[in-house]
Homo-oligomer: A and B are copies of this chain.
Amino acid sequence: MDDILFTEEFKTNPDKYVLPSIAINNVIFGFDDNKVKVLLLRTVYADKWTLPGGFVLKEDELITAAERLLKLFTGLNSVFLKHFGVFGAVNRAEKERELFLSDQFQGDQLNYNFFLQRFVVLGYLALVQYRQVSPLTDDVRQCEWFDLESVPELTFDHNLIIETAIRELRFQLNYLPIGFNLLPEEFPLKSLQKIYETIRGKKLDRGNFNRKILSYGILEKKEKYFSGAANKAPFMYSFNKEQYFNALENGLGAF
């Protein structure tokens, strides 16, 4: 249904279906194994990785297009999803142009012409719960999670796009209850702390972190426990949705 993009009809007549010269890329962050991850897509035309993305259908709102693509690649509907930047450098397809002209190129001519034109990319940042995601895998496409530290060289200017997204994330962390979109319904505070540490890029003190995060009043303590490890199980927490959405609207009171 969403795969007009991969039909011959679209390839021969793209401007009939989507807004010309505009593309969307989603930077989708998840969290697992105490590490922040980003979802990447293997290209169909070479052994390279790229950001999930697509185009804006004529009848789509911009955010709807971003949601549609998120749904396509992760199966998820409603998450934190936010525009964070535009990327339209004249030479942003230079690397790809060279690749397409080389003998590594495995795609077809129609894609070639379409993808190498100049696009203005709208960057959308998504925070999703890792375990809820079923990364898309079909005949031509394959999604996988990558640790932030081991993102490979990507197509176009996608490395820049990810870096910009992380900067934005680091920044928003200070006034929005960001971490929670990345975690499952219930989680130990340590996981949340790890997210903050990863995005901030430094260690935090447990006591101080807990004191602060609990002071926002958007967390609820649960009485469940982990099991399996040779130690006392950590308490689980979930967030109070009412307080949480209020904080999303009005910030965490930093100002």
A interface residues, Cβ below 8 angstroms from B: 19-22, 56, 58-62, 83, 85-86, 88-90, 118, 120, 122, 171, 174-175, 254-255
For residue A174, which residues in chain B have a CB less than 8 angstroms away from its CB? 254-255
Contact call B118/A58, Cβ cutoff below 8 A:
yes
B86 touches A61 (CB 8 A): no
CB pair A89–B61 under 8 Å, yes or no, is yes
Chain B residue at minimal CB-CB distance from A118: B19
Question: Smallest CB-CB separation from A58: which chain B residue?
Answer: B118
| Whole-angstrom CA separation of A59 from B90 in the bound complex | 7
Q: How many copies does the complex hold?
A: 2
Complex CA–CA separation, A20 to B174 (angstroms): 37
Q: How far is the CA of A53 from the CA of B60 in the complex (A)?
A: 24
Residue in B closest to A173 when the chains form the complex, CB atoms: B255
11 additional contacts, CB 8 Å, given A21-B22, A60-B90?
A19-B21, A19-B88, A22-B22, A22-B120, A56-B120, A59-B90, A62-B88, A62-B89, A62-B120, A86-B86, A120-B120
Which residues on B sit within 8 Å (CB–CB) of A120? 19, 22, 56, 62, 120, 122
The complex places the Cα of A58 from the Cα of B59 at a distance, in Å, of 25
- Give A21 to B62 CA distance when docked, in angstroms: 13
26 A–B contacts, CB within 8 A, in A order? A19-B118, A19-B120, A20-B20, A20-B21, A21-B21, A21-B22, A22-B22, A56-B120, A58-B118, A59-B90, A60-B90, A61-B88, A61-B89, A61-B90, A62-B86, A62-B88, A62-B89, A62-B120, A83-B85, A83-B86, A86-B86, A86-B122, A120-B122, A171-B175, A171-B255, A174-B254
Q: How far is the CA of A59 from the CA of B21 in the complex (A)?
A: 14
In the bound assembly, the distance between CA atoms of A118 and B15 in angstroms comes to 13
- In whole angstroms, how far apart are the Cα atoms of A118 and B101 in the complex? 34
Q: How far is the CB of A33 from chain B (nearest CB, A)?
A: 27
CA distance A89 to B60 in the complex (A): 8
When distances are taken between beta carbons in the complex, the residues of chain B under 8 Å from A118 are 19, 58
Cα distance A120–B62 when bound, in Å?
A: 9
Q: In whole angstroms, what is the CA distance A86 to B86 when docked?
A: 8
Residues of B within 8 A of A20 (CB): 20-21
Of chain B, the residue at the smallest CB distance from A89 is: B61
Chain B residue at minimum C-beta to C-beta distance from A254: B174
In the docked arrangement, what's the CA distance between A61 and B60, Å?
A: 26
Write the nearest CB–CB distance from A17 to chain B, whole angstroms.
Answer: 13
A60 proximity list for chain B (CB < 8 A)? 90
